[in-house]
Amino acid sequence: RGEYPGINLRVEVTNWQLLLKRLREEDIEFYVADTAELPADPSLESRPLQRLPGGFYVRAGHPLAGAASVRLEEAWRYGALAIRVPSSIRSIIARMLGMSSADELTVALECDDANLLTRVALESDSVLVSAHAAVAAEVAAGRLKLLQIQDLPMLQAQAGVVTLRGRTPSPMAELIISRLPLINE
């Protein structure tokens, strides 16, 4: 806003399926989301962002906050908070919890708003599953603690910028996209 005081933007926070529908209807110019489950479609273009590692977080006073490491089962009992978990990550978590299928995995609170999930984690004993970047300020301030989950492989979102192929974005959309941490292709 400091550089371009006359601009007006609209930001929507929702899941990638609804954003894809809005993109196809040309109600939005682009969206940023995990693209792991994006359907193969020649009308879409996806530009990958740098990988976003994630983890499990609890409020500073949480019963597990002081533990050197915890088993996933211990953390999951408190109730998991997460945005819509991609199927690849759901499978890893379900397998670690001894479930025969990712379909058995339940999340205590699933919400498309990462800030709302963070607020819930700060005021409850629920465990937040989040990208590190989304909670960096809360961790730096000491309000959230990263749990060290035993035997947990690195979890990473495959985020990208999704646009309609062949469409020229507005100058403002192109400026915003250019400031995202894109992987140079």
Classified as helix, coil or strand, 17 is helix
Q: Decide which of 8 and 141 is more confident.
A: 141
What is the reported pLDDT for 13?
86
Examine the pLDDT at 84 and tell me if it is beyond 90. no
Judge whether residue 160 has pLDDT over 60.
Answer: yes
Tell me, what's the pLDDT at 66? 93
Rounded Cα distance between 30 and 159, Å, is: 13
- How many angstroms separate the Cα of 174 from the Cα of each of 4, 12, 16, 111, 137? 14, 17, 20, 28, 27
Angle of helix 132-140 relative to helix 114-122, nearest 10 degrees, comes to 40
Dig out the tokens for 136 from the structure: 């960096």
Residue 165's pLDDT is what? Answer: 96
Beta bridge partners of 129: 56
Quickly tell me which residue has 């977080």 as its tokens: 57
Residue 178 has pLDDT above 80, yes or no: yes
| Dist CA 14 CA 100 (whole Å) | 29
- pLDDT score for 143: 98
pLDDT tens digits for range 85-140: 888 888 999 999 999 999 999 999 999 899 999 999 999 999 999 999 899 999 99
- Per residue in 7-48, pLDDT (tens digit) is 888 888 888 999 999 999 999 999 999 898 899 999 999 999
What is the torsion angle, in degrees rounded to the nearest 10, for the CA atoms of residue 111, residue 79, residue 97 and residue 34?
A: 20
Per-residue pLDDT tens for 41-83?
999 999 999 888 889 999 999 999 999 999 999 999 999 999 9
Tell me the two tokens of residue 109. 């609170």
Q: Report residue 185's pLDDT band, with 50, 70 and 90 as the boundaries.
A: low
